[in-house]
């Protein structure tokens, strides 16, 4: 059957109040096709009971204790994602772009091979590594077995940062890779995380509510960089079905994938264009849960970076926190920097992103509301919709 209810297996035992189980998260988010593959549930589990399945979705691998933390910190479950935005707003001016301490158009000089847009993220991370400010950066690099599929990777040298340059459009369950025991790092490591806004929201929410996070070192994250994002995609649907199968593109010949001015672009290794179509042609490959996100701008991050709002070959940079400002200033001598070219372009796309989100979000949108949403409240908002929990009255044996 479609759900699992542990209450049916507890003979004459009254369950403690307030418990939410992994199976509640599973039927409300994963089985309902709303998971955005951020990995927050894996990172939040204090008993390391949640792993990553072969389909890149969360999976219970040990006994669930019903602590509710996987539900609480899921940006499509119990975490009100917009309530994390105020965590970056301390003493910062807030305008249409959120908390802002600086907004720039920039690019790295000299050019770093393989970087996307202006290469600002790579320049920032290399500067911090060389200065000893961070011990590593959680990024995405290409899978060794699946071409153009991004996988989580902790870069610990400038060379590894350059190796990870460029963009992938699938999620990597990044926060599920914050267990740092397999790396040679100092006892109290300091790392940066570059990710989508939902990943950054999860980190900031957990850091604002310190807990024992099992093996995940959420406390080690000292810098967050959000990549401007309207949606992420399922790798199989986007790269294998849409690009390889439908359009006949050999993925081994692809040199770059990008989204520029609303168009999905695939280039070969020589820079020739293989695909250039409106991004809406690929929306069937997008993660359904992304439709509910109103955070195109990465409001919770220390720094937000993307291409919208700047000339081709440059990055738009929004610095939001004091640590983000320190990091940006440390990289200044590597960058060509000027005032942000077109902030109105960012505001326009942000407004459109929110309009889409408000059509799909079945609960009230309120950045000033409490961070957590009760499971029962979620049921009230989502029951009877196309995003309702799957089989919440059923039992899986």
Return the SS3 of 2: coil
**Which residue stretches of 224-270 are H helix?**
235
Could you read off the pLDDT tens digit of each residue along the chain, which spans 397 residues? 334 455 555 555 565 666 899 999 999 999 999 999 999 999 999 999 999 999 999 999 999 999 999 999 999 999 999 999 988 766 666 778 999 999 999 999 987 777 778 899 999 999 999 999 999 999 999 999 999 999 999 999 999 999 998 889 999 999 999 999 989 999 999 999 999 999 999 999 999 988 778 999 999 999 999 999 999 999 999 999 999 999 999 999 999 898 888 899 999 999 899 999 999 999 999 999 999 999 999 999 999 999 999 999 999 999 999 999 999 999 999 999 999 999 999 999 999 999 999 999 999 999 999 999 999 999 999 999 999 999 854 333 2
Q: Cα(369)–Cα(214) distance, rounded to whole angstroms?
A: 28
Q: How far is CA 138 from CA 84, 90, 183, 335, in A?
A: 21, 25, 12, 22
Q: What is the pLDDT of residue 182?
A: 87
Q: Cα(295)–Cα(103) distance, rounded to whole angstroms?
A: 17
Would you say 79 and 373 are in contact if contact means Cβ atoms under 8 Å apart?
A: yes
Strands 191-195 and 98-100: unpaired
Q: Cα(230)–Cα(340) distance, rounded to whole angstroms?
A: 20
Helix then strand then coil, in percent of the chain rounded to 5, is: 35, 20, 45
Q: Look-up: residue for tokens 């609480």?
A: 72
Q: Domains in the chain, ordered, with CATH?
A: 6-80+371-382 (3.30.70.20), 82-229+284-358 (3.40.640), 233-283 (3.10.450.750)
Task: Give residues with Cβ within 8 angstroms of 280, minimum separation 6.
Answer: 262
Q: What is the pLDDT of residue 114?
A: 72
Q: Where are the beta strands (DSSP E) in 29-156?
A: 50-52, 58-60, 93-95, 98-100, 102-108, 136-142, 150-155
Q: Cα(3)–Cα(393) distance, rounded to whole angstroms?
A: 7
Return the SS3 of 191: strand
Q: Mind giving me the DSSP string for 125-137?
A: HHHHHHTTS-SEE
Rg (CA), the chain: 21
Q: What is the pLDDT of residue 92?
A: 64
Q: What is the pLDDT of residue 9?
A: 54
Q: Could you tell me the two tokens for 138?
A: 């959680």
Task: List the one residue out of 386, 356, 388, 321 whose CA is nearest residue 98.
Answer: 321
Q: What is the pLDDT of residue 324?
A: 96
Q: What is the pLDDT of residue 155?
A: 97
């Amino acid at each position: 059957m479609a759900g699992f209810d542990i209450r049916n297996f507890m003979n004459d035992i009254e369950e403690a109040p307030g418990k939410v189980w992994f199976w509640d998260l599973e039927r409300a988010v994963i089985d309902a096709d709303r998971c955005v593959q951020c990995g927050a549930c894996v990172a939040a589990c204090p008993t390391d009971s949640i792993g990553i399945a072969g389909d890149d979705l969360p999976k219970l691998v040990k006994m669930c204790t019903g602590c509710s933390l996987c539900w609480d910190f899921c940006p499509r479950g119990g975490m009100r994602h917009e309530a994390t935005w105020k965590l970056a707003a301390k003493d910062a001016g807030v305008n249409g772009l959120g908390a802002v301490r600086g907004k720039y158009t920039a690019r790295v000089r000299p050019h770093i091979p393989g970087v996307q847009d202006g290469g600002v993220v790579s320049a920032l991370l290399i500067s911090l590594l060389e200065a000893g400010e961070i011990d590593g950066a959680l990024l995405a690099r290409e899978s060794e077995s699946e071409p153009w599929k991004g996988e989580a990777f902790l870069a610990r040298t400038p060379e590894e940062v350059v190796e990870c340059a460029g963009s992938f459009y699938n999620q990597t369950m990044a926060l599920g890779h914050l267990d740092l025991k397999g790396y040679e790092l100092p006892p109290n490591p300091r790392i940066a995380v570059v990710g989508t806004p939902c990943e950054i929201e999860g980190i900031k929410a957990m850091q604002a509510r310190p807990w024992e996070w099992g093996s995940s070192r959420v406390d080690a994250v000292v810098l967050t960089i959000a990549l401007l994002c309207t949606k992420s995609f399922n790798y199989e649907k986007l790269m294998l079905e849409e690009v390889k199968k439908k359009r006949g593109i050999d993925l081994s010949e692809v040199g770059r994938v990008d989204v520029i001015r609303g168009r999905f672009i695939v280039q070969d290794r020589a820079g020739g264009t293989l695909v250039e179509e409106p991004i809406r042609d690929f929306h069937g490959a997008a993660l359904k849960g992304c439709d509910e996100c109103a955070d195109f701008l990465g409001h919770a991050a220390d720094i937000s970076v993307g291409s919208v709002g700047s000339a081709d070959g440059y990055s738009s940079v929004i610095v939001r926190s004091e640590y983000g400002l320190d990091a940006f200033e440390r990289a200044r001598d590597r960058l060509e920097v000027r005032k942000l070219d077109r902030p109105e372009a960012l505001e326009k796309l942000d407004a459109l992103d929110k309009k889409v989100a408000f059509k799909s979000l079945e609960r009230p949108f309120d950045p000033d509301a409490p961070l957590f949403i009760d499971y029962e409240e979620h049921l009230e908002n989502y029951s009877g919709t196309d995003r309702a929990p799957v089989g919440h009255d059923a039992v899986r044996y």
